[in-house]
């Protein structure tokens, strides 16, 4: 079992270790000790050697419930290496937190078959994510006051979201019809000359790292809205970065996600090639053909803080880019406030415009 599920415990006090965005090291929640991955690995190696010498290797037993065939297909049960509690998770859970001992637990087995190539470590901590959410509430006149004042964040989760990062070269073949219009007067006549042109533009556009989230549980509109991520900070995958956060393995494979990224690349390729046409009075595309001539996808974990709140019986989700702090969310609007603003603005505009019209029109009193 130890090769499937593991977590990080403090070599000093045994408390759970979590990845600390500020120091980019593993930090003990209880004694604040900082460790590198190498130091922790060395500790465990020594620990295992000592245990082997004493012949006290612990043998974990995993209880298996009676799942239905359907449930069993999608559920997995793991045993927490710290407290021995059984962790139930879905088939894609890669990193979770034990509900009994709060130890972050890495389901290492997930990374055997679905190991990410890269991970982008968290740069923002939980407090900062909450602060960003509170700032997000500002400057929103239609946000119900009770939502702001009585709103309690129910859950804040640091999640490594599985993404496919697509590289690709799009070949774009476009034909345009363009016109150049000249107008001049000659005697009592106005002459309009229109020159017609056929334009050909063939070219390639190279893309790097177009992201598409690979988890069916993550709403695409949230993940797209918190782009971009700075890929220069990407690291080779290491489970150390997972400590303290949640993670799921992908359940949308690269082939399934490809169409979404390709449609984005195609739109940008057409725009880029079209921008090479200039100097004409009017231009209209006649034909457009875009094909991918090269492509590859890399599997990466990108950091996202997910915050959820409840108001009036509804759950509102917010996603914060764990690196840049860019936030995306969908908040409620107060209908009464909206009507009030509509009436005030309409009335004010009416009065101002009418007064201006009165004076422009010369007045009549």
Partner 1 sequence: MRKTRFLSTVLVALFFLIGLVLVPIKTSAASANVIDEVGIFSSQQLLDLDDLAYEISTRQQCGVYVVITDDMHGYSERKFAEGIFMNYDLGFGEGEGASGVILAISYGDRYYDCYAYGAAGDTFTTSTLDDLNDLAYQHLVNGDWYGAAESFIKRCDELLTRTGYQYYVPTYTDPPISQHITSTSPEQRRNEFLSRLPFVCLGSAAVGGISVAVMKGKNKNIGVATNADRYIVNNGVKLIDSKDVFVNRTRTVTHIARNDGGGGGGGSIGGGHTYHSSGGVHSSGGGHF
Specify the stretch interacting with partner 1 by CB under 8 A; choose among 34-42, 73-81, 94-102, 197-205. 197-205
* Chain residues 265-304 in contact with partner 1, contact rule CB under 8 A: 265, 267-268, 271-273, 276
Among 30, 60, 100, 341, binds partner 1 (CB under 8 A): 341
Residues near partner 1 (CB under 8 A), total = 79
Task: Give dist(CA 27, CA 82) in Å, integer.
Answer: 17
Among 36, 41, 197, 259, binds partner 1 (CB under 8 A): 197
Nearer to partner 1, 62 or 208 (CB): 208
Task: Give dist(CA 16, CA 80) in Å, integer.
Answer: 12
Nearer to partner 1, 74 or 344 (CB): 344
Nearer to partner 1, 29 or 224 (CB): 224
CB of 215 to partner 1, least distance (A): 15
Nearer to partner 1, 52 or 339 (CB): 339
217: left (phi over 0), alpha (psi -120 to 50) or beta: alpha
Nearer to partner 1, 36 or 206 (CB): 206
Structure tokens at 97: 């937190």
CB of 128 to partner 1, least distance (A): 19
* Chain residues 23-62 in contact with partner 1, contact rule CB under 8 A: none
* Chain residues 156-185 in contact with partner 1, contact rule CB under 8 A: 178, 185
Task: Give dist(CA 229, CA 146) in Å, integer.
Answer: 33
> DSSP letters of 172-228?
EEEEEEEEEEEEEEETTEEEEEEEEEEEEEEEEEEEEEEEEE--TTS-HHHHHHT--
Q: Which residues touch 266 (CB under 8 Å, ≥6 apart)?
A: 170, 290
* Chain residues 128-157 in contact with partner 1, contact rule CB under 8 A: 139-143
Write the binding mask 217 to 246 for partner 1: x where contact by CB under 8 A, - elsewhere.
--xxxx-xx-xx------------------
What DSSP state is assigned to residue 85? P
């Amino acid at each position: 079992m130890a090769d499937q599920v593991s977590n990080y415990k403090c070599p000093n006090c045994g408390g759970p270790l979590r990845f600390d965005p500020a120091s980019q090291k593993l930090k003990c929640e209880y004694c604040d000790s900082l460790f590198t991955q190498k130091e922790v690995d060395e500790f465990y190696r020594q620990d295992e050697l000592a245990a082997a010498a004493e012949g006290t290797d612990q043998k974990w037993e995993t209880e298996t419930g009676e799942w239905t065939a359907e449930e069993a297909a999608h559920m997995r049960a793991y045993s927490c290496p710290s407290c021995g509690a059984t962790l139930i998770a879905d088939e894609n859970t890669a990193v979770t937190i034990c509900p009994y001992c709060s130890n972050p637990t890495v389901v290492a087995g997930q990374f055997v078959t679905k190991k990410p190539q890269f991970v982008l470590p968290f740069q923002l901590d939980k407090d900062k994510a909450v602060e960003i959410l509170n700032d997000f509430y500002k400057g929103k006149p239609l946000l119900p006051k009770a939502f702001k004042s009585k709103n309690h964040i129910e859950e804040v989760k640091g999640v490594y979201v599985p993404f496919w990062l697509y590289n690709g070269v799009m070949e774009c073949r476009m034909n345009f019809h363009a016109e150049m219009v000249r107008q001049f007067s000659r005697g009592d006549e106005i002459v309009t000359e229109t020159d017609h042109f056929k334009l050909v533009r063939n070219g390639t556009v190279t893309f790097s790292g177009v992201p598409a989230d690979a988890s069916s549980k993550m709403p695409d509109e949230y993940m797209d809205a918190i782009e971009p991520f700075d890929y220069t900070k990407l690291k080779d995958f290491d489970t150390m970065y997972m400590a303290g956060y949640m993670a799921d393995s992908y359940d949308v494979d690269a082939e399934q996600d490809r169409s979404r990224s390709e449609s984005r690349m195609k739109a940008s390729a057409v725009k880029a090639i079209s921008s090479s046409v200039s100097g004409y009075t009017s231009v209209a595309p006649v034909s457009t053909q875009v094909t991918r001539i090269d492509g590859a996808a890399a599997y990466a974990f990108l950091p996202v803080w997910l915050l959820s709140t409840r108001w009036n019986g509804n759950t509102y989700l917010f996603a914060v880019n764990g690196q840049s702090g860019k936030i995306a969310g969908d908040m409620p609007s107060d209908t009464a406030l909206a009507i009030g603003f509509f009436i005030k603005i309409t009335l004010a505009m009416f009065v101002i415009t009418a007064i201006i019209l009165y004076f422009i029109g010369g007045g009549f009193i």
